[in-house]
């Protein structure tokens, strides 16, 4: 398994109200697998992805990353795994608007060991379908679909084992959505990286190996 969640629970407190979003969830993804995570708005997809991405800590339960139990107390190790083993793509691109395209893509390698791997960044941009002459454009000048491709290139920069994408196509039209997920699928198949994609789109779910649905705090696998 690339990642495994065992008996994960998560509750949020809003004033004196408590909301249990995840109830004793068990979920795992194999290496090389691409899975979709579905469920209505507010069902807990992002909450689960943040825990799987080691961005947030569960109240109880454990995460195993590459069969090692994650110690959420070890912030330094968490940061290292997030930077080197997991790539993130979010709904709102989360690129740095003060930087150009290639600088955004190189960021994870700069964080890792201060290396400016321009050739690799160029190659990744090419593999996600961004033209060479766009590499020095400021990112605020790009369309949503282009930004999401750049975000995907950046997520791949440190050659992660797992890419977590939280509604990566929510702001894109249908054609761009299918395009970007097709690109993800090709990378998944060719480079044997695992992908977990939260989505509301049945069409995208059909492109995945397995589909999971969160409902009422629990998760179940859907028969495709
Ligand atoms: N940090 C937080 N503090 C309090 N409540 C939160 C927090 N994060 C999420 N929630 C609540 O937990 C529930 C699940 O939210 P989550 O963002 O995981 O849903 P989602 O399935 O990703 O929804 P969407 O499809 O709209 O993105 C929601 O009711 C949300 O308001
Ligand atoms: Mg969400």
pLDDT (tens digit per residue) in 42-75: 999 999 999 999 999 999 999 999 999 999 999 9
Q: Is the pTM of this model over 0.85?
A: yes
The residues with which 141 forms a beta bridge, in sequence order, are none
Instruction: Specify whether the CB–CB gap between 187 and 181 falls below 8 A.
Output: no
Q: Which atom of ligand 1 is nearest to the CA of 47?
A: 18
Question: What's the confidence (pLDDT) of residue 158?
Answer: 93
Residue 26 has pLDDT above 90, yes or no: yes
- Give me the residues paired with residue 109 across strands: none
Give the pLDDT confidence of 120-173 residue by residue, as tens digits: 999 999 999 999 999 999 999 998 889 999 999 999 999 999 999 999 999 888
User: Using a 6 Å cutoff on CB, does residue 158 contact ligand 1?
Assistant: no
Burial of 114 (0-12, 13-18, 19+ CB in 10 A): exposed
Cα distance between residue 117 and residue 138, in whole Å:
18
Ligand 1 neighbourhood includes 42 CB (under 6 angstroms): yes
Residue spans per domain, the chain: 1-85+191-224
| Look-up of token digits 């968490």 | 78
C-beta 160 within 6 A of ligand 1: no
> What does the pLDDT read at residue 224?
59
Burial class of residue 58, CB neighbours in 10 A (0-12, 13-18, 19+): buried
CA angle 223, 213, 80 (to 5 degrees): 115
Q: Which ligand places an atom closest to the C-alpha of 15?
A: 1
Q: Which residues pair with 218 in a beta bridge?
A: 215
Residue minimizing CA distance to atom 6 of ligand 1: 12
* β strands within the chain, DSSP E: 3-14, 17-29, 34-38, 60-65, 68-69, 86-89, 162-166, 194-198, 210-215, 218-222
State if residue 18 touches ligand 1 by the CB under 6 angstroms criterion: no
Q: What is the mean pLDDT of residues 69-84?
A: 94
CATH number of 1-85+191-224, picked from 3.90.1300.10, 3.30.565.60, 3.40.50.720, 3.40.50.300? 3.40.50.300
Does the C-beta of 35 come closer than 6 Å to ligand 1?
A: no
Which atom of ligand 1 lies nearest, measured to the CA of 14? 4
């Amino acid at each position: 398994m690339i990642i495994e969640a065992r008996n994960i629970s998560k509750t949020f407190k809003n004033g004196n109200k408590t909301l249990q979003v995840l109830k004793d969830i068990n979920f795992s993804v194999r290496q090389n697998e691409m899975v979709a995570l579905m469920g209505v708005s507010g069902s807990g997809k992002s909450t689960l992805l943040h825990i799987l991405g080691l961005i947030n800590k569960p109240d109880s339960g454990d995460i195993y990353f590459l069969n090692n139990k994650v110690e959420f107390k070890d912030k330094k190790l968490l940061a290292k795994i997030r930077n080197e083993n997991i790539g993130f793509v979010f709904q709102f691109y989360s690129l740095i608007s003060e930087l150009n395209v290639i600088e955004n893509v190189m960021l994870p390698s700069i964080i890792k060991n201060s290396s400016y791997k321009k050739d690799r960044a160029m190659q990744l941009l090419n593999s996600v379908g961004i033209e060479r002459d766009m590499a020095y454009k400021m990112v605020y000048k790009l369309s949503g679909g282009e930004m999401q491709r750049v975000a995907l290139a950046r997520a791949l920069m440190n050659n992660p084992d797992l890419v977590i994408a939280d509604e990566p196509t929510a702001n894109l039209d249908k054609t761009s959505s299918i395009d970007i997920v097709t690109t993800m699928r090709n990378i998944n198949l060719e480079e044997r990286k695992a992908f977990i994609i939260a989505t509301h789109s049945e069409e995208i779910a059909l492109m995945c190996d397995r589909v999971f649905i969160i409902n009422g705090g629990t998760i179940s696998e859907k028969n495709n």
